[in-house]
Amino acid sequence: MKIEEVNNSKKEVSFFFFERVNLMKIEYNLIKTEKNTKARLGTIKTNYGTVETPMFMPVGTKATVKGLSPEEVKETGSAIILANTYHLWLRPGEDIVEKAGGLHKFMNYDGPILTDSGGFQVFSLAKNKKKDITEEGVHFKSHIDGKALFLTPEKSIEIQNKLDSDIAMSFDECPPASASYEYLKNSVERTIRWAKRGKETHRNPNQSLFGIVQGGAYEDLRKYSAIETVKLDFDGYSIGGVANDGESKEDMYKAIDYSIPYLPENKVRYLMGVGEPIDIIEGVIRGVDIFDCVLPTRIARHGQAFTRNGKINLNNAKYKEDFTPIEESCDCYACKHYTKAYIRHLLNTGEMLGGRLLSIHNIRFLIRLTEELREAIKEDRILEYKEEFLEKYH
């Protein structure tokens, strides 16, 4: 479902045609729970109209979905998109974005935007976890020039307030999958303390703030993290720590199952960093509402495409004379206008259009997947949908 138009009037500046009206935080409405599972059909009311869930959110790390214009992203059926606090803090800087009028004006995206806290990037750059991760925040070095940096829960929220995204994320610790139980226990407790500090710092009345549940694959830690985070009364809740460090699918599903029962029904549930089709289906069945991942654009740049029969690699010679679309049933721009043979030619000659077309297709594939999941929930047949999908996808 595309975002409802909230203002059709054309502005004086030719490249910028939107304006937020009735400024508010998001509002989640649960419409229905599928009778055989925990899958939920809902809506999120935003400053840019009402969007439906379950939903996949394309990632625009540096205020752009890599290789695509905002108009191309919107044509895939996108609603909420992501941007990254860490990267925008370093370049161009939150003050520049604020002077531009916020992220929406800066990148010309007339739809809701979610900013992550920068936690994942920061913890991947902190070399000595025991020394660099302190109660105050995290010491690390810039991936650009090696400059020493220090990010705190307060600073992450202050940056996101200036970016003026619709949804901001709490600053959490992102422990590796290999972390011990004792490490994870201490990490969960610190993340809760950081969540409280961030919430106390939050000053943007039109920006929703989400809390993040951690705890690895341990049931007691997930339960504790969820209960204590919910006590802080955030606008929505995320399940983190499932795509940080090569976590297994089994551990991912455990993390969801152990967290969901303690999250309120009237708030959005967000599974962070997950974009494999089967994981989205499993997440929806378990009660997750929204998902994000860089996967569709990342694999596109390497010549790979999602199809109903699994991923294909258009670099392969067998597509040299294949004059059919990436997928016959797909309604995306790439499939309507181009063939596998042509896209393979673009990839083979290093032309950037090849990756762009595959990015359009892959994003549309995941958005169309969530559209179909919504219909399956309406019809109380999501388990049948999963079985039908898995029969072909390999």
Q: Known catalytic residues?
A: 116, 292
The CA distance from 361 to 278, in Å, is 17
Confirm if 135 and 190 have CB atoms less than 8 A apart: yes
Distances in Å between the Cα of 181 and the Cα atoms of 26, 177, 247, 382 are 35, 10, 15, 35
Distances in Å between the Cα of 225 and the Cα atoms of 188, 222, 286 are 6, 5, 18
Confirm if 78 and 58 have CB atoms less than 8 A apart: yes
Three-state SS letters, 180-234: CHHHHHHHHHHHHHHHHHHHHHCCCCCCEEEEEECCCCCHHHHHHHHHHHHHCCC
249: helix, strand or coil: helix
> DSSP assignment, residue 68?
-
